[in-house]
Amino acid sequence: MTASRLFRRAKIVCTVGPACSEPSTFRALIEAGADAIRINFSHAEHAEARAIIEATRRIGRETGRPVAIIADLQGPKIRVGDLPSPLRISEGDRCYFVPEEKGAGALPEGASRDRLIPTTYAGLAEDVAAGDRILLDDGKIEVQVLEVNGDCVEVEAVTPGELGSHKGINLPGVRVGAPSLTDKDRDDLAFAIDQDVDYVALSFVRRPEDVVDLRDRIGGHGLIISKIEKDQALQDLDEIIRQSDGVMVARGDLGVELPYEEVPLVQKRIITQGQELARPSITATQMLESMTTSSRPTRAEVSDVATALLDGTDAVMLSAETAVGHHPIEAVRVMERIIRRIEREGPPFPSRIREQPATERAAVQQTTSGAVAAAAMQAVQRLGAPFLVTFTRSGFTARVVSAQRPPVPILAVTDQSSTYRQLAVAWGVHPVLFEGEVNYRTMLSRARSAALDGGFGRPGDRFIVTAGVPFHVTGTTNMMRIEEL
């Protein structure tokens, strides 16, 4: 079987945590197929994160595999504050949300202290109005706003339940005024930049301006993945993705913010728009959730992963399965098996870009780079080329070609170590690191050796090359050539 058939196109993102903290387990995680390591700063301390980054880079060098590092910022998660004991809420109960720092002093006259719910978000009373819904603890408890009185929000319980400290608060349909980055996020971001991470994942994105603000703060250090988990983000989805370098379908909070039956349709929409704009997409949350305790996935979970792959996602993500689960390595192997089985149905699934009339394609597809990528696809199909090559500095060329979903591997040759790692999450891309004088002849020589060493082709095979002239200028893909191996 050729390398083209053996090559896995969709990528795997693994969240790290106590389950894979042992050095041998962590190495096995990468060797089993992890293409990117996600550090969740809702839990990780800086010392722990530094050790993970160092280990990832070391193992990547030793195995000759690019492994991207994703720093996932906690974001402005709104939570219940400290409760003296779990609060039992019955249908029809009146409760009172007040800022945690103000406590009972914010209660109106006659309100019961026993029904007080402190919140970590001081601006709640400014954002909500009578009739708004508030969901608690991943939507298990629903309350409706009756009245806003100063800093106090009086609500009536719609569904019963027991509420504990630090449970999440969701505000579906409410335009939340909290800043996109908290003080903790800014501290974590400074650390991530200092550690030269490959991606920063921005949680609870609501507006394109949230991404623009983060871009200004990053200053070119790493790429941005926007996590779509607020219903508000769907109103400006196209522009949010356009301002981002990648997008994550964060189905946890998204499934609370939206009616659950809407989530699969939103997932398809996000993946499709990501592909049209040449931004890699990651589908996340509860993909193999049962494997946190079981050594085998449920059939429904296997179908869920397969559906995301058939939708065209660039990568699938493991969260609790590898962070705190009992079978982290087996979870990666299961994900690998599912991907390979779906991709055996090849050639790879048609790109929606090719299905659209030219007038409806995203602007990125109608640039010179997009036109060259489309021409490369045609050449691959007509010549039966076993692979194609992109010479890229920023990775943009490779991502545009990837969005076409070619039926052969994309060998992305770059002299930038950061781009080499970042392309580890792009569908169908096999990153190749180049060292030496940057010109067409030397990079072509590196591409040929990588293709032969990797078994992507045989001497005499014709393959396609896309590149930009001059080489040192980012985003200038303007050339396609046919070469012989």
C-alpha span between 125 and 149 (Å, rounded): 8
Report how many domains make up the chain. Answer: 3
Whether 334 and 356 share a structural domain = no
- Please indicate, yes or no, if residue 7 is contained in any of the structural domains: yes
Residue 472, in any domain of the structure: yes
Q: Has residue 471 been placed in a domain?
A: yes
Q: In this structure, are 338 and 366 located in the same domain?
A: no
In a shared domain, residues 338 and 214: yes
- Of 135, 153, 170, which residue sits at a domain end? 170
Specify the amino acid at residue 59: I
User: Which residue segment(s) compose the domain that 423 sits in?
Assistant: 352-484
- CATH number, domain containing residue 417: 3.40.1380.20
Q: Once rounded to an integer, what is the mean pLDDT over residues 141-145?
A: 97
**pLDDT at position 356 over 70:** no
Does residue 82 form part of some domain? no
Does position 225 have pLDDT exceeding 60, yes or no? yes
Percent of the chain exceeding pLDDT 70 equals 94
Q: Which of 313, 343, 373 is the last residue of a domain?
A: 343
Check residue 248 and give its pLDDT.
Answer: 98
138: left (phi over 0), alpha (psi -120 to 50) or beta: left
Stronger pLDDT, 220 or 158, i.e. the higher one: 158
Structural domain contains residue 80 = no
Give every CB contact of residue 188 below 8 A, 6+ residues apart in sequence: 41, 46, 71, 73, 74
pLDDT attached to residue 351: 66
Q: Which among 145, 170, 195 is the end of a domain?
A: 170
**Cα torsion 448, 451, 454, 459: sign:** negative
Whether the Cβ atoms of residue 157 and residue 91 lie closer than 8 Å to each other: yes
Contact 170, 256 (CB under 8 A): yes
Asked if residue 81 is part of any domain, the answer here is no
Widest distance between CA atoms in the chain: 86
State whether 146 and 185 are in the same domain: no
Nearest alpha carbon to residue 11 among 409, 300, 345: 409
Domain shared by 107 and 236, yes or no: no
Residue 126 has pLDDT above 90, yes or no: yes
Contact criterion met (CB below 8 Å) for 474 and 452:
no
pLDDT above 90 (res 111): no
| Active site residue ranges | 38, 79, 227, 285
Q: pLDDT tens digits for 358-369?
A: 555 566 777 778
What is the rounded CA–CA span in Å between residue 245 and residue 280? 7
Residues 57 and 92 in one domain: no
Are residues 236 and 208 in contact, defined by beta-carbon separation less than 8 angstroms? yes
The CA dihedral of 310, 311, 314, 316, to the nearest 10 degrees, is: -80
Question: Measured between alpha carbons, how far is residue 351 from residues 117, 194, 275, 348, 377 in Å?
Answer: 49, 38, 8, 9, 11
The 10s digit of each residue's pLDDT in 404-447 is 899 999 999 999 999 999 999 999 999 999 999 989 999 999 99
Quick one: 478 and 371 in the same domain?
yes
Cα–Cα distance measured from residue 387 to residue 408, given in angstroms and rounded to the nearest whole number: 5
Could you tell me the pTM of the whole model?
Answer: 0.93
Question: Is residue 206 located within the same domain as residue 309?
Answer: yes
Helix residue ranges, H only, 198-327: 208-218, 237-243, 251-257, 263-276, 299-311, 320-323
Residue 161 confidence (pLDDT):
96
When comparing pLDDT for 362 and 327, which is higher? Answer: 327
Residue 477 lies in a domain: yes
The residues near 181 (Cβ < 8 Å, ≥ 6 apart) are 73, 75, 76, 189, 213, 214, 217
Sequence-ordered list of residues with C-beta below 8 angstroms from that of 387, at least 6 positions apart, any chain: 4, 408, 409, 410, 411, 451, 456, 457, 463
Long-range Cβ pairs for the range 59-65 (8 Å, 24+): 59/26, 59/27, 59/30, 59/31, 60/30, 60/421, 63/30, 63/31, 65/30, 65/424
- What totals of helices (H) and strands (E) does the chain contain, helices first? 17, 21
Q: Residue 1: which pLDDT band, with cuts at 50, 70 and 90?
A: very low
Condensed to tens digits (0 to 9), the pLDDT of residues 435-471 reads 999 899 999 999 999 999 999 999 999 999 998 877 7
Residues 316 and 212 in one domain: yes
Q: Does 383 share its domain with 249?
A: no
CATH code of residue 110:
2.40.33.10
Same domain, 303 and 358: no
- Regarding whether 206 and 65 lie in a shared domain, the answer is yes
**Would 43 be classed as within a structural domain?**
yes
